[in-house]
Each structure stands twice: as structure tokens, then as C-alpha cells.
Amino acid sequence: MSDEHTYRKNIRPGLLVDIIEKHNQRTGITTSGEVRDVLSPGQRHPRGIKVRLSTGQVGRVQRIAVQNN
């Protein structure tokens, strides 16, 4: 399993990601969306970089969606 979601340098606004919100940590339910803001101040976080989606939901990135540019 790739750990690219744990490095801030890989996360930027506009990126499509799957996040896990705090209240869903036990169940593992993820939410998909577009990154609006990167909230984690550090360069790395072992459980995923914290972001705010365009919908306003906040959580840690679990997966970066594959995008064809």
C-alpha cells in the first residue's frame, strides 16, 4: 500500500481524494471529494494529511484518486 497520502507535498487544492472524518474512524467509512484547503501544518502525518473538501467536510486523506491530466 502506498503512503503518498501521508506527505503534504503530494496534496494540493483541486486534487480528488478519499478522506476519513473523525467520527468515521472506527467504521472506516470514507468520503470522496475535491481538496479545498490543506490543514495539516507538518510535512508528514502517519495517518494522512488533514484537508477540507470543497463541501466543507474535514478529514485525513486515505487515498489520492488517479487523475488523467
Q: What is the pLDDT of residues 28-38, one digit of tens each?
A: 999 999 999 99
Task: Please report the pLDDT score of residue 25 as a whole number.
Answer: 93
Task: Please report the pLDDT score of residue 66 as a whole number.
Answer: 76
Task: Please report the pLDDT score of residue 1 as a whole number.
Answer: 53
Tell me the mean pLDDT per 10 residues along the chain, length 69: 88 97 95 97 96 98 81
Rounded Cα gap, residues 31 and 24, in angstroms: 10
Rounded Cα gap, residues 5 and 56, in angstroms: 19
Question: Vertex 55, ends 49 and 60: CA angle to 5°?
Answer: 15
Q: Which three cell numbers stand for residue 50?
A: 488533514
Which pTM does this prediction carry? 0.90
Q: How far is CA 39 from CA 12, 27, 64, in A?
A: 11, 23, 16
